[in-house]
Structure 1
């Protein structure tokens, strides 16, 4: 009986690891020369934007001091995305590939969520093939059900979720430093860190959840290591480098 249980558990882990395709993610995309377009034109699966709210408008910036009138969420992301969806007859990409939009709420999360709800209200049908995931200053887990079902939420390793709330978790994210010391990605990853990340990946895949790790290096060895570890979202600030790695 014990051997059978072990076999079933192992099978679940293997099946979980095979369930997801690895995706390329534009980390801090708003810092690119052309936010949205640079990643989109390279066919990135996932795009990340940090959001602030000021005087009722949503702005894209890494810090409050970086907010400018021209860098609104509508101008840099919302309108370009809706335009692509219109061109591609309901899909972000012409080949019908789905797009992940990760929105990191830097502060005033409830106010930002209220504004986002207003934005999607008129475009719910247009967004059926876009995954909108909320990160950062997120609502409490017991509040997830209050928000439109188009919104998913970025999970955390040590957060306890009810069954209903867990259904709204689109991915589980963690900092690289949760698993080991800073790694520049120029030499092999220390074995202990490697196994810590591997356990994190396998545990979440067994539960049917994708994983993302932030704070990883922008190097080819870094990408190779994340690929080998089966991390689902391989993130970068160097879009060309990651795209070239994937194509090769």
Structure 2
């Protein structure tokens, strides 16, 4: 006679088999769904997908789930630019149906139903989908490190490439315009083509929200970097009135869709930034960039130039007679550290400047989440600097 234990084991194995079959069925149906979408060929190439109706993080996760399928599609002789994944995602977002059609625009496809959150996408260009992933998760701030390189189209000229390390620069495909400024220009043109005020931004349901675009200067020649940035990369956005500016006549900030923040080794000198101290770089009485200042040392800030200040987590702890090692070992900030660091942040905010703390550890995960909570709730910092976008958005 079969024992009760044996019957129990048979039942468990039976349930495991049923669950496995159901899981395989679901997976197969998902691939069939994506395959059926692929057949809606918009341009005759066989590799473009029609409007899926998914936006934000759901769209990102769909592409991630089917990454192998999407990346292995036959693209004929089309060369890889950034990556198969990035190229396929960009192909999906940008198609002819989005031209001057705000409800089918890239902004609509990417950020409809997405709530903007005060998150800074640290080293954004390192992500699999630079810019796109940040916007999909509602991050209102992105960062690009730029280096001076020879222009691939004209060796007699310079250009700006985006990379963390000078040894790993792809000046052809990963340039500032290819990854950021040209894309932003096209996205904003699509949603503003029927609007005389041209006031719609990159978040479909929150068109008034500005996107902070941090440009981190890496090359030694910061004057040349600044000249290239202004004349080649920002000028098209400026010409369309898409960039925030300081009105030198009215002495106030005018907020637009993109707010440019210079960070890193930028020229902290108005003789360079404005060129014409009375009338601005383009002689129109406007300053189109802002200069990041320090939370710790407010004396370095030039009046009317900063909307954002930043300092590292470790520097702030050291300024409060503590250390990063102590805080990580404890797994949280203690009362003395919170009081001291909050005082620094409050002084900065009293000057009308937002704050960002960078260099928060990424591990262990539980400690990271605790630090994030304390930075937002206890220190009341304005922008949360993160690497893990999806995890951070759950905080808001």
TM-score range, shorter chain: 0.7 to 0.9
Inter-partner Cα distance in structure 2 for 1:169 and 1:49? 18
- Quote the residue 2:292 is aligned against: 154
Select the structure of larger CA radius of gyration: 2
Shift of 1:126: 2.8
Equivalent residue in structure 2 for 1:102, among 174, 191, 214: 214
Q: TM-score, structure 1 length as denominator?
A: 0.83
Deviations 1:84-126 (A, max 9, x none): 2112224222221211111111122211110111122233113
Shift of 1:166: 1.6
Inter-partner Cα distance in structure 1 for 2:349 and 2:187? 31
Shift of 1:161: 5.3
- The answer on 1:111 being equivalent to 2:224 is yes
Inter-partner Cα distance in structure 1 for 2:141 and 2:329? 22
- Quote the residue 2:168 is aligned against: 66
Inter-partner Cα distance in structure 1 for 2:224 and 2:353? 28
Counterparts of residues 1-248 of structure 1 (less than 5 Å): 23-55=118-150, 56-69=158-171, 70-89=173-192, 90=198, 91-94=201-204, 95-96=206-207, 97-107=209-219, 108-118=221-231, 119-124=233-238, 125-127=241-243, 128-143=256-271, 144-146=273-275, 147=281, 149-156=287-294, 157-158=296-297, 160=299, 165-180=302-317, 181-182=323-324, 183-184=327-328, 187-218=331-362, 219-228=368-377, 229-246=379-396
Inter-partner Cα distance in structure 2 for 1:38 and 1:184? 29
CA 1:208–1:102: 2 relative to 1, 3 Å: same
Shift of 1:44: 0.8
8 Å contact from structure 2 (residues 181, 234) kept in 1: no
Shift of 1:240: 0.5
**Bigger shift: residues 49-58 or 117-126:** 117-126
**Bigger shift: residues 26-35 or 177-186:** 177-186
8 Å contact from structure 1 (residues 29, 36) kept in 2: yes
Tell me the SS of whatever aligns to 1:169: coil
Deviations 1:6-59 (A, max 9, x none): xxxxxxxxxxxxxxx971110110111111111011111101111111121111
Which runs of 5 or more residues in structure 1 are unaligned?
1-20
Which runs of 5 or more residues in structure 2 are unaligned?
1-115, 151-157, 193-197, 244-255, 276-280, 318-322, 363-367
8 Å contact from structure 2 (residues 122, 385) kept in 1: yes
Q: Which protein has the bigger strand share?
A: 1
Give the number of the structure with larger relative contact order, counting CA–CA contacts within 8 Å between residues 6 or more apart: 1
Inter-partner Cα distance in structure 1 for 2:329 and 2:216? 25
